[in-house]
Amino acid sequence: MSMLHTVNKSPFESNGLRSCLAHASKGDTVLLIEDGVYAALKGTAVSGDLWRCRIDVKFCVLGADLAARGLDKGRLIDGIRVVDYGGFVDLVTEHGRTQAWL
């Protein structure tokens, strides 16, 4: 059964995202929330990490956390889906388990 991973720390400050990607399995979803949303930006020092995983893992990002930080959707890596809080709940129910990479 697939897993939903949440990452809430900036990838420039913590290795939570890297560890998450190293442990995620094919068919899993990674939801970026809070300071984790910075990982969704294209053209950064960590963009390549997400890009390499995009075939096996789906990426979502919480829209409210993007807006709070002034990040426009046009600056996201292609293929990342923006969800609202309802979408967050849907993701939890669609996946068997949820793992938070704090």
Partner 1 sequence: MAEAAKSGAAPAPAKAKKKFLYVNRKAPYGTIYALESLEVVLIAAAFEQEVSLAFLDDGVFQLSKGQDTAGIGMKCFAPTYRALGDFGVTKLYVEKEALSERGLTVEDLQQVTYEDENDGFKAKPSIVLIDRAALAKVMAEQDVILSF
Kindly tell me which of 28 and 65 has the beta carbon lying closer to partner 1. Answer: 65
Q: Is 78 in the site for partner 1 (CB under 8 A)?
A: no
Using CB under 8 A, pick the residue from 8, 16, 20, 21 that binds partner 1.
8
Instruction: With contacts defined by CB under 8 A, name the span among 15-23, 33-41, 48-56, 89-97 that binds partner 1.
Output: 33-41
Q: Would you say 27 or 48 has its CB closer to partner 1?
A: 48
**Which one among 34, 49, 82, 88 touches partner 1, defined by CB under 8 A?**
34
Task: Identify which of 21, 30, 37 has the alpha carbon closest to the alpha carbon of residue 3.
Answer: 30
Give contact residues for partner 1 (rule: CB under 8 A).
8-10, 12-13, 34-35, 38, 41-45, 47, 63-65, 67-72, 75
